[in-house]
Amino acid sequence: MYKIVHKKGLSDDDRVMFTEFRKNYKNYPYLYSMEKDYEDEYQDCYQSLGDRLDMFVVYDQEGKPIAVSMSTPFDKKMSILSDFYKPDLDLDLDNAYYFADIVINKKYHGQGIARELYTQATNYAKNLGISKIYALLVNRDNDPRRPDDFHYSQLWKEFEFSNTGLSITCEWPTFQLDGSVKMDSNKLDIYMKKI
């Protein structure tokens, strides 16, 4: 049996744990190289949210963390959410919540942990009076680096998120076809669910 703990903010200890989980993003479709300066800056953004950041951590029977999700209510003042406020997107962000990262230790994939994390975060958002949730999904459908056995998670469909048809572009150090790393633009599709 697993235990899920809701934490507010990102402590220094949690930051170390989160960094370990984010190493999963080296894989397709993210292809994120985990360069230290970029990772530090990314996590500084989360840490700057203080108690506005909601972290749900899953622990195994031995008390070891095996999964984590991050989410936060929308706020124009948060730099990490600034791309959502671009006028050309025309998104209704009043009373909205952002599902950011969800990362699970590979050994525990396929055991319903992601489903439980989304359920917990959604119920928490409902209790706050939130009316809609946004998430970003990396779009690399036609990428030659896509492994033959890769399948996108169906969790988004199961939880009735809809593709808004809008996207943003984020830069991060990305593995290239030749194995090198460079700062690259990555397309992220915006998904939304009303709750």
What are the residue boundaries of the structural domains of the chain, listed by start?
3-194
Q: What dotted CATH number matches 3-194?
A: 3.40.630.30
Q: 41-88: per-residue pLDDT in tens?
A: 888 888 989 999 999 999 999 999 999 999 999 988 777 788 888 888
Handedness of CA 49, 77, 82, 129 (dihedral sign): positive
Q: What is the pLDDT of residue 190?
A: 92
Label residue 36 by pLDDT band (50, 70, 90).
Answer: confident
Longest Cα–Cα distance of the chain, Å, equals 48
CA-to-CA distance for 193 and 69, rounded, in angstroms?
Answer: 17
